Amino acid sequence: MINKNDKKVAFYTLGCKLNYAETSNIARILNEGGYQKVNFQDNADFYVINTCAVTGNAEKKCRNIIRQTIRRSPTAKIIIMGCFSQLAHEEIKNIEGVSLVLGNSEKSDIIKYMQELDNDTNSLVSCNDILKIDEFYPSYSSGDRTRAFLKIQDGCDYYCSYCTVPLARGHSRSGRIEDIVNSAIEIGKKGIKEIVLTGVNIGDFGKNTGEKFIELLRKLEDVKAIERYRISSIEPNLITEEIINHTAISRKFLPHFHIPLQSGTDKILKAMKRRYDTKFFSEKVSLIKKQISDCCIAVDVIAGFPGETEKDFEETYNFINSLDISYVHVFTYSERANTLATDFENKVSISERHKRTKALLELSEIKKKEFYLQHIGQSAKVLFESENENGFIGGFSENYIRIKVPYTHEFVNKILELTIKEENLDL
C-alpha cells in the first residue's frame, strides 16, 4: 500500500460543472488511497486531466493542455480521462508521454489503474462502450468553500443532430433521491452553503429509478445545513409547471433557470432535432417570469449551424432580443464526428460563424446590463466568495446578479442582505 504523501497527484479540469464535480470526487478517492493532492503547476508524480469534447475548440484545448503537461513534466505519469478520451482514446494513446487513457465509465476506478501504472511502463487504455453502461457514479465538488456542484444525473437520450454528448456520456441515468439527499447532507457538514444540481440532462432525472425531479427538489428542501440551491441547465420541455411553482415558493431553490435554446428559428430547431419550437420556448419563458418576476433566465444558442442563412440568423437575433431573459451563452458551431449535422449541406463559413457569435455575445452584454440595472435599489441576499479581487470581494444574489463590495475577510462564505447600488454591480 502506498504511504500517505508518498505520491503526489495534480488535476486539471476542462468543460462543464459535471466534470468539476467528478474531478473533485476522484481527488477525494485518491486522497483516501494515500495520494497527496497538489496544484497543477507544482511538481507531481501523476497529472490527471479531465477532458471535454462538446466543441472542436474544447478538444483543441485538451490537446494543448496534454502536450504542455508532457513537455513540462516528461517523467510524470500523464492520465487523460473524460469525454474527449471516451471519443478519441485511439488518438490520445498515440500521443507520446500519455500513460493512461480512461473513458467515462472507468474514472471511478482510477486508483486501481494508477497502481497498475506503478508496475508498468507501457501506456494503458481502458475505455468501454459507454452505451452499454447502466451504472450511475455519484460525485460532488468540495474545493469551493461557498458552492458545490452535486451530480444527480448522467447521460442523454436526446441525440440532437450536432451533439456528441450521448456518445461520450451514454444513456440517461440518475442517482436515487435518498443517496443524493445524503450527499447534500455531507456537503452541508463541510460548511458549504449553496449547491448547484448538475448533470447532462437533469430534467430527465429518475428515468431509470421511477422517481421524479420534482420529488428530489422537495426532499432537498429539508436538508437543514444547505441554505441555497440552483438548478443548472435544464431542457425547456422538461421544465414543468410543478418545477416553476416549487421554485416560486421555495425557501431554498433560487430564482435562476439556465435553458438551452440553440436557435431562434423553427427551421433550424427542426434540423437540430430539438424537442420544441420558438412558440413553446417563448411561452415557457413568459410562464417563468409571470410566476417569478425577478428570475434570472440564461439561454444557450449555437451560431452558424449548417443551413443557417443570414435571414435565419437575424430571426434568431431578434427572437432572443424579444425574450425577457438575462444573458446568453453563445457557442460557435463546430463539426463533431459521428453526428448527423456533419453531413448537412450549406455550411456556414468559419468567418461568418465567428461574426454571428460576436453579435450574439454583444447582445448578451446588453441583456445582462438591462437585467442588472432593473434591480438597482432592491434588496438582495448575496453569498460572498473567498477571492480578493483587486481589493473587492464578490458574490451572487439569489437571482445571479454579481455583486462586489470592498474586501472584508469576515464576509467570506456569508450570506448578507444589502441594497443593490449601481457601483456594486460587477458588469
18 within some domain: yes
- The gap from C-alpha 322 to its chain's centroid, in whole angstroms, comes to 26
3-state DSSP assignment of residue 396: strand
pLDDT digits (tens, 9 = 90+) for 263-274: 999 999 999 999
* 148 shares a domain with 213: yes
Integer angstrom CA distances of residue 308 from 265, 270, 312, 350: 9, 12, 6, 13
Question: Is residue 218 over pLDDT 90?
Answer: yes
Q: 182: alpha, beta or left, given left = phi > 0 and alpha = psi -120 to 50? A: alpha
**Which pLDDT does position 127 carry in this prediction?**
81
Q: Both 104 and 157 in a single domain? A: no
Same domain, 94 and 32: yes
Neighbouring-strand partners of residue 46: 9, 77
Q: Classify residue 109: in a domain, yes or no.
A: yes
DSSP 103: -
For residue 226, pLDDT over 90 is answered with yes
pLDDT in tens, 175-200: 999 999 999 999 999 999 999 999 99
Whether residue 79 is contained in a domain is answered as yes
- In whole angstroms, what is the distance from residue 209 CA to residue 318 CA? 41
Looking at the structure, do residues 14 and 72 belong to the same domain, yes or no?
yes
pLDDT of amino acid 2: 44
Do residue 149 and residue 40 come from a single domain? no
Q: Are residues 203 and 104 in the same domain?
A: no
Q: Do residues 149 and 53 both lie within one domain?
A: no
Section 302-308 average pLDDT = 98
Domain contains 28: yes
Are residues 172 and 237 part of one domain? yes
Q: What pTM was computed for the model?
A: 0.93
Is 78 in the same domain as 111?
yes
pLDDT digits (tens, 9 = 90+) for 132-161: 888 999 999 987 778 999 999 999 999 999
Total number of domains in the chain: 3
The grid coordinates of residue 400 equal: 445571479
94 plus 202 within the same structural domain: no
- d(Cα 250, Cα 203) in Å, to the nearest integer? 18
Alpha helices in 170-212 (DSSP H): 177-189
In the listed set 230, 254, 278, which residue is the last one of a domain according to the structure?
A: 254
pLDDT for the residue numbered 282: 98
Q: Is 167's pLDDT higher than 50?
A: yes
CA-CA distances (angstroms) from residue 106 to 96, 128, 189?
A: 22, 8, 29
315: in domain: no
Asked if pLDDT for residue 118 goes beyond 80, the answer is: no
Measured CA to CA, the distance from residue 292 to residue 282 in angstroms comes to 15
Are residues 242 and 193 part of one domain?
Answer: yes
Domain that holds residue 230: 131-254
Last residue of a domain, one of 128, 159, 187: 128
Domain C-terminal end among 103, 128, 153:
128
In a domain, 412, yes or no: yes
pLDDT digits (tens, 9 = 90+) for 390-413: 899 999 999 999 999 999 999 999
Q: Are residues 201 and 88 in the same domain?
A: no
What distance in Å separates the CA atoms of residue 99 and residue 88, rounded to the nearest whole number?
15
